[in-house]
Structure 1
Amino acid sequence: MAMEKTFSPKPVEDRQVEKDVLVQEPSKVILFNDEVHTFEEVIDQLIKAIRCDTAKAEALTWEVHSAGKAAVFEGTMDECVLVSGVLEEIALHTQIEV
């Protein structure tokens, strides 16, 4: 009777592996009131920028008008840059906050 050899790998040493993890804080797009754009222009641009319904865009526009500014979008920095860019297509004044 032949003896079978079994393969037994040597245990691998435990290693600490450090990973750099980029944690992004949520960013916000702030839209400021101005005396140049009509409500309709702002509503239309908000719908285009954040892909919301008319009721949401109207509520945000009213908040901007009443308070002077409002956070109209929250997301990653990349998303906020895109949203801000769409709003600024018609020269709306925005700011991104982290």
Structure 2
Amino acid sequence: MPATATRKHTEPTDSTRKGFSSKTILFNCNCHSFDDVETQLIKAIRCSLSQARKFAWEVHTIGSAVVYSGHKERCEAVAMVLEDIGLITKVSE
């Protein structure tokens, strides 16, 4: 009997559904190096160095950036990791 592959159907994340409406915002404080911010972003949101650099640059030039969107609990966890080194964050819905 030939092996058959089963394909799991996964729904894309819909940030408008209940529980997905929170976001973590990182603010510029002019007191951390780009390297520090990038390293902490990689830890907090498990992104690539390239993505961390984009977020760090956006925070530096604009003053803030939404660095994570998802469940409120996960947004709060991301904020806590960023705040470990004194970064300024806000979790909003």
What TM-score bracket applies, with the shorter chain setting the length?
0.7 to 0.9
**What pairs up with 1:1-98 in 2 under 5 angstroms?**
23-98=18-93
Query: TM (normalized to structure 1)?
Result: 0.75
Deviation for aligned residue 1:24: 2.3
Q: CA RMSD in A?
A: 0.8
- After TM superposition, the runs of 4+ consecutive aligned structure 1 residues lying more than 4 A away are none
Aligned CA distance change for structure 1 residues 67 and 85 (closer, same or farther; 3 Å):
same
Q: Which has the larger radius of gyration?
A: 1
**5+ residue gaps in structure 2?**
1-17
Query: Identity over the aligned pairs, expressed in percent?
Result: 45
Query: TM (normalized to structure 2)?
Result: 0.79
1:28-57: CA deviations, max 9, x gaps? 000000111000000000000000000000
- Structure-1 residue corresponding to 2:14: none
**5+ residue gaps in structure 1?**
1-22
Aligned length: 76
Distance in 2 (alpha carbons) for counterparts of 1:35 and 1:64: 10
